[in-house]
Chains A and B, each alone.
Chain A
Amino acid sequence: MIAEAGHYALVLALALALIQSTVPMIGARLRDPALMTLARSTALAQLAFVGISFMALVALHVMSDFSVANVYENSHSLKPLIYKITGVWGNHEGSMLLWVSILALFGGLVAVFGNNLPLSLRANALGVQGWVSTAFYLFILLTSNPFLRLANPPLEGRDLNPVLQDPGLALHPPMLYLGYVGFSISFSFAIAALIEGRIDAAWARWVRPWTLMAWMFLTLGIAMGSYWAYYELGWGGWWFWDPVENASLMPWLAGTALLHSAVVMEKRNALKVWTVLLAILTFSLSLLGTFLVRSGVLTSVHAFATDPTRGVFILLILCVFIGGSLTLYAWRASSLKQGGLFAPISREGALVLNNLLLTTACATVFIGTLYPLGLEVLTGERISVGAPFFNLTFAPLFVPLLLALPFGPLLAWKRGDLAGAAQRLYAAGIAALVAVAVLWAWTRGGAALAPLAIGLAVFVIIGALTDIAERSMLFRMPLPIALRRARGLPRASWGTMFAHLGVGVALIGIVCETTWNSELISTLKPGDVAKVAGYELKLDAISQRQGPNYGEMLAHFTVSRDGRPIGAMTPSKRSFATRGMSTTEAALMSRGVSQLYVSLGDTAASGAIAVRIYHKPMVLLIWFGPLLMAFGGLLSLSDRRLRVGAPKPAKAARGLQPAE
């Protein structure tokens, strides 16, 4: 009953999406306000119905209704409640339903908060949103329906993949999807602007908060996924340049570029054509990411060819939306009016450089991810493009980006003074050189590049602080005045500082972890002591325990430093009977921002156990960085300018203005 209701609600949502994708756009053509306002009600109704559908699937999972194929394949009656709920999106069908639910959520948000938008812009944007929803509803209903029943319901389910039974996974996919799908808003607005043939600073002001929000969630989602991989996969890696990860990194890079070019558009009414293109590309890359992960093409090009329904369907969606929007762009972009002039050395120029480097870096990731697929399709030859490729291409493009980063905010709009900016960055430059020198002396004979990279990170961090210090006239005015000025600065300036600070912080974490990581792999018997980076880990005992749906072997370690005990660590190995799989649960101990990391291997016949122990210096900074970036995004988002929204056009002109 619940399954059928969920299915039916999904069909109704499709019907509403069809109305939303046609009627308001016809209304915008005919300038009929009644038809245009239909966009709002259909978007909200669609959200309600897809919400019912999603809730139905959650209910089925919670009640362990194994007569539904999706529940049978991914759930188990003994599974803890939280994983029964998160298991809803731990599989293909459920995660696609989550995808469209979030799409409908964003549509609903535009409908609710879009009252001060020009009526025709809102109608067109929600119409485009309706197209995307329609395509994905059809995809779910035709190829991956989560509500299908089994003819002979089994008594017990097959359980969720144990690696996915983890709190990290509860939040990672929804965050990532909020990011991916959030970019659909800027896409819809870009297409709407192309259809209307009109775009202005108010458009950018409207699009920027949505982009910012999507970008924040994507940043958090990627960071969370990386931390999950770090502690769950049991060997301490946090980024593997795996195609699945690259699929989320590409929209992030393009989205970061979009965020910056939208600033130029909002402030200076320039770079319009480019911003629209970026908005299209960013969402296209989100779609591509969905395609890569969801079509099975990464598992095997041949798997894709032998069971093509899903893959071909998403590929079709991909071609229609990317091809269609780029065609529309080629056709209509010339009708958008050119914006303000600026010199190459200016804030705009710096943001153009940022865009250029980010999109190029994104392109190299694109090539590294898709080249093996293309080569296999064309020649049948199989290669893997791993970390070395990305280190050789991605990193060199990021160095100039980070070098230029502190200059950007210090340059004036329109025509900047590079020498002046450089002068104000003296402190940052000196701090960076000192950091390089100190590290060089300290790690003499060690890696040569690491001190330079950390120097660069210090330059970025101090540079970000310099910008705020300059704006609040710290050191030039008496302290109370400077503080008052600092408080009065727009929150967006603080947001910029935190986001840029985060880049530097993450870079320090990345460099320290990869360069000074110490590792010990050894077999230990109870009573043995292992020494890593000044820490002593004594294996006290090995014990067994029964969890709700798994058996667990725990190893108890006492950690001491200089003979003083500082804590206990209990890594474990869980074996899940239903799937016959085991997972390694690493034990982590944070010391400041560094971590000790212990994971278990096989047990030998003699009772000794293989253990992998890492000391990872500064590793937590890798994830603090993105947190700071997202916090910066949040501050920016709360800026008054954005809260107030776009300036309203004159009342009389509202919705009735000719498009030209």
Chain B
Amino acid sequence: MTRKQRRLTMIGGALVVLAIAVGLVLNALRDSIVFFSTPQMVAEKHVPPGRRFRLGGVVEPGSLHRGDNLAVTFKVADGSNALEVAYKGILPDLFREGQGVVAEGALDAGGVFRADTVLAKHDETYMPKDVADALKKQGHWKDDYEKAAKPGKPMQGASR
């Protein structure tokens, strides 16, 4: 096999693998991406029930209710709108009323957000990135949140 043939085989093989990888990536990007919304965006956009997204905002003070068997409901607010969230399981250590939170799940037919994952950040000076951005955009933001660059996992979460 000459040098040229060898090179062609290698380049051919590389192209095949790359094409497969591009296909996989495009396919995965189409199916498995989760968008981020705030309660206001949900109210404006009319997200269909059953479509997964991440909901971010502040846990409205006084809205947290614990039911039987670890069922919890609370409201996520962003200053202009609030959305009812239902979750079953243990909330992360840093989950608190009046603090930023990100929940992942989907709306049910009654317009309640059924979360299967609740994320809160591991630092009291600290807001989940998406929440801080959204609040900032809407002008509800006071504190800085640059104290983020900690090694290791910044997110703490609970999921079922």
Contact = CB atoms under 8 A, between A and B. Distances in A.
Interface of A: 89-92, 95, 161, 163-164, 169, 172-173, 225, 228-229, 233-235, 240, 242, 244-245, 293-296, 298-303, 307, 338, 341-344, 352-353, 356-357, 360-361, 363-364, 367-368, 371, 381-386, 388-389, 392-393, 396-397, 521-523, 573, 579-584, 601-602, 604, 610, 612
Contacts of A610: 70, 90
B118 to A, nearest CB: 11
Contacts of B144: 307
B44 interface: no
A303 B148 contact: yes
Interface of B: 1, 3, 6, 9-10, 13-14, 17-18, 20-21, 24-25, 27-29, 31-36, 54, 66, 69-70, 89-91, 93-94, 122-124, 129-130, 132-133, 136, 144-146, 148-160
Contact of B90 (A92, A295, A521): A521
B25 A228 contact: no
Contacts of B10: 344, 352
A385 B32 contact: yes
Give the residue among B28, B70, B136 with the most A Cβ atoms within 10 A: B28
A162 to B, nearest CB: 9
A300 B3 contact: no
B145 to A, nearest CB: 6
Given A298-B148, A610-B70, 5 more contacts: A338-B3, A393-B28, A521-B89, A573-B93, A602-B91
Contacts of A522: 69-70
A235 B159 contact: yes
Nearest to A225: B152
A481 B151 CA distance: 52
Nearest to B35: A383
Contacts of B130: 382, 384
Q: 9 closest Cβ contacts across the A-B interface?
A: A601-B90, A388-B32, A299-B148, A392-B28, A382-B36, A393-B24, A300-B129, A360-B21, A389-B32
11 contacts: A163-B122, A169-B152, A233-B156, A303-B129, A352-B10, A357-B17, A364-B21, A382-B35, A386-B32, A388-B32, A581-B94
Give the residue among A90, A343, A356, A393 with the most B Cβ atoms within 10 A: A393
B32 A579 contact: no
Nearest to B54: A384
A196 B90 CA distance: 60
Contacts of B152: 163-164, 169, 172, 225, 228-229, 244
Contact of A389 (B33, B150, B158): B33
